[in-house]
Amino acid sequence: MKIQPGYPGCIFSLLTKVALATFLFICYNVSIYTIWWCDMLRPHQEQQQGQWELVYLEQLVRPDHLLRMVQKHVDFGFVFEKVKHLYCEDNGRPALDPVILFKMLFIGYLFGIRSERRLVQEIADNVAYRWFCGFSLSQRIPDASTIWQNRHRRWKDSEVHQEIFDEIVRRAIEAGFISGKELFTDSTHIKASANKRKCETRQVAASTKSYMDELDRAVAEDREQHGKKPLARGKEVQQETREMKVSLTDPDSGYMMRDGKPEGFFYLEHRTVDGKHNFITDVHVTPGNVHDSVPYIERLDRQRKVFKFQVKRVALDAGYLTSPICHALQQREIFAVIGHRRFTPVKGLFPKWKFTYDPEADQYKCPGDSILTYRTTNREGYRQYASDPKTCCNCPLRDRCTKSRAARKVITRHVWESSREWVRENRLSERGKKLKVRRSETVERSFADSKELHGHRYARMRGKHKVREQCLMCATAQNIKKLAMLMDRLEGVALSA
């Protein structure tokens, strides 16, 4: 029997071929998927940690690492000369190279490592840190107690940290990054390592102000010009004392209570930066209860003396707005801009600015056109101008002028008040407004960087001397970082040109 064309057998043969092709396609895809899945589940390769390998430490540090720029542009050889006199030359065991020791500390401040034990661990684990300090991969890192022993035995009564800070500032001056013509100053609080509940109340001597001798002379001259007798020496006030909280944990710290600030034991870091590239030019530490204005003029004169700054302009916060500071800056012919703080007058009474001063007649005029004449000048340097009670008794504005039972209004004016008015005119000028804006972009930015990037929110140690060391080292690290980056940038521009 012959199968004719179109017989169902042909259809069966076609279906067989299709089924076979489908089966092969499925087998192919299954094999591919199986190979891929087996590749994903392949066992890990054998670990290589136990094998010997020849490496070059220089190649393990990436080219754009910050420490490469610091190593290239900052020579730390001067550290040896600064601390040489603190070591014995002919006795004792060989000491750790002080350059290496300070490099270790700078790593901690550059990268915000607050614990020295943690610092030693990080240097041991980080290849870049080892390379910067000069340690090989197998070399043992000095123990954290080495830093502690140097601090307590060698650096305790020395000025080595201040000298290192000053040297970095001088190098920035030589490189042209600091001009010294425009300075910005402010202070920030640093939390002391002290519990605010562990304290006692004591009678503590108040801090003496450096301008007191000059103020006494000004008071004497002012009284003489007004025909007043000199103040009797027998009634002079002795050194003032006041009742303050003293920490039992860190007695050097000060109890701070300020509006908008945390309450407790703090230190204050007073910092000055240069306006050209925001380099830090001065660092000073006081307890948290010392007013910002107390050390300012002394620290300004130190910069002018040590670094030969020709200061032309300064900008300060409102905390520095005192008559002695305004007078000192005007005497030094420095254009000063100081922030203004508004004081709320007594409710229902005229504010002081409602009373007009006449410098020629040396008297005040009240809103009711009555005259307040000069009476005396006190020891604090304030002139007193008083009204006539007979006039004030019948004045319709008396209830808004004074609540005195004697019906007398008294206005005070400092002997250096003209300097304060000069600073106010500077602040309101176009030049002063620009300088005020720059203050927030310079010194406040410097404080923000130190706290956010360099671990400077809290005091790492106790005692004013050790906190001063921390502040100086942090500021030095910031200057080193800025100096290295600026020099590297200039070098790149020179090569591209």
Q: What is the model's pLDDT at position 212?
A: 80
Q: What is the model's pLDDT at position 3?
A: 43
Question: pLDDT per residue over 110-123, tens digit each?
Answer: 999 999 999 999 99
Question: pLDDT per residue over 128-165, tens digit each?
Answer: 999 999 999 989 999 999 999 999 888 888 999 999 99
Question: pLDDT per residue over 33-46, tens digit each?
Answer: 554 444 554 565 56
Average pLDDT for residues 237-259, to the nearest whole number?
83
- pTM of the model as a whole: 0.85
Better pLDDT: 331 or 493: 331
Query: Which among 149, 180, 154 has a CA at the least distance from the CA of 79?
Result: 154
Q: Using CA atoms, how far apart are residues 393 and 402, in angstroms rounded to an integer?
A: 11
CB 110 within 8 A of CB 480: yes
Question: pLDDT per residue over 211-234, tens digit each?
Answer: 788 888 888 998 888 888 888 764
Better pLDDT: 490 or 28: 490
Please name each of the domains of the chain with its CATH number. Answer: 59-87+95-158 (no CATH), 179-230+237-342+420-492 (3.30.420.10), 352-416 (no CATH)
Average pLDDT for residues 299-304, to the nearest whole number?
96
Question: pLDDT per residue over 431-440, tens digit each?
Answer: 999 999 999 8
Share of the chain above pLDDT 90, in %: 59
Q: What is the model's pLDDT at position 208?
A: 64
CB 163 within 8 A of CB 78: no
Share of the chain above pLDDT 70, in %: 88
Q: What is the model's pLDDT at position 36?
A: 47
Question: pLDDT per residue over 350-373, tens digit each?
Answer: 888 889 999 899 999 998 889 999
